Amino acid sequence: MGALSVNLCGIELDNPVIPASGTFGYGYEFAELYDINCLGTFSCKGTTRQERFGNPTPRIAECSAGMINAVGLQNPGVDRVIAEELPRLKKCFHKPLMANVSGFSVEDYAYTCQKLDEQEQVGWLEVNISCPNVHGGGMSFGTDPRAAYEVIKAVKAVTRKPVIAKLSPNVTDITVIAKACEDAGADGISLINTLLGMRIDLRTRKPVIANTMGGFSGPAVFPVALRMVYQTARAVKVPVVGVGGVSTAEDVIEMMLAGATAVEVGAANLVDPFACKKIVEALPETMARYQIAALREIIGGVKQWEKT
């Protein structure tokens, strides 16, 4: 076990850095820039049962300290992902990958997860019950504890690999949803997905994206994500993957102190395609600066203020 290594749901990672779904394609696109095997793993683009074109354009807009997107789960569908995307990825990535799955019904989730569970390359199934950019699915499951429970229960019934529930921050109490997923058999929790946001163009007086609202991500959401990781890690017994506004090695360590076993990097990949590589390379020096011998030893290690 190396100083950077962690264990996520029974699978060893060389380091905790994971590019987040929707910001790293199917991996091979970034493999043209650097050896992506330096990563712990990565979460592939969200996959659905059927092919999806996504939302109308414009669907991405920059804003202060982040961005808003409403891509709408554009993807070729699970059958083509298995037949075309995974074979291309196998040529350049030699570690288990995290397969991100979305759906519009419980049956959709179960069908897609069962198909991906059968693929040797897949190490984890990240079940996205938190997407704010589609109608009739995604976040509607992640804001209702009972609906979240039913999705995870159905997926667990047809899969053998670790199932990680990806949660929405657009709820009153994140721990209620997290506990429901754990009760349904989830092997891990990842959070947060994007916050629901909106901008208006003052010249046209129209929303800047065609979907009106979209997912807000970037450095501005980091404190919210950190708070929810902290709360969730103390509410469940399964591993937590921290996501939201992470862009530096320091952010990774902060997330892990809050309770994250591994950390996903999202919007930073769209700003700098080498972001994750740079974070991995910076971790040893950053650990030395803060006198950290091994990352797995600091998980959930935030200290509380002592009463005086």
Q: Is 286 helix (H, G, I), strand (E, B) or coil?
A: helix
Cα 194 to Cα 256: distance, rounded to the nearest angstrom: 19
User: Is 276 an annotated catalytic residue?
Assistant: no
Angle between helices 275-289 and 249-258 (to 10 degrees): 70
- Distance CA(95)–CA(127), nearest Å, equals 20
Residue 230: closest CA among 300, 281, 303: 300
| Phi (first) and psi of residue 138, to 5 degrees | 60, -110
SS3 call for 216: strand
Contact status, residue 114 vs residue 159, Cβ threshold 8 Å? yes
Q: What are phi and psi of 291, to 5 degrees?
A: 55, 50
Active site residue: 9, 44, 113, 131, which one? 131
The token pair at 71 is 């891509």
CA–CA separation, 131 and 204 (whole Å)? 28
Q: Which positions are annotated as active-site residues? A: 131
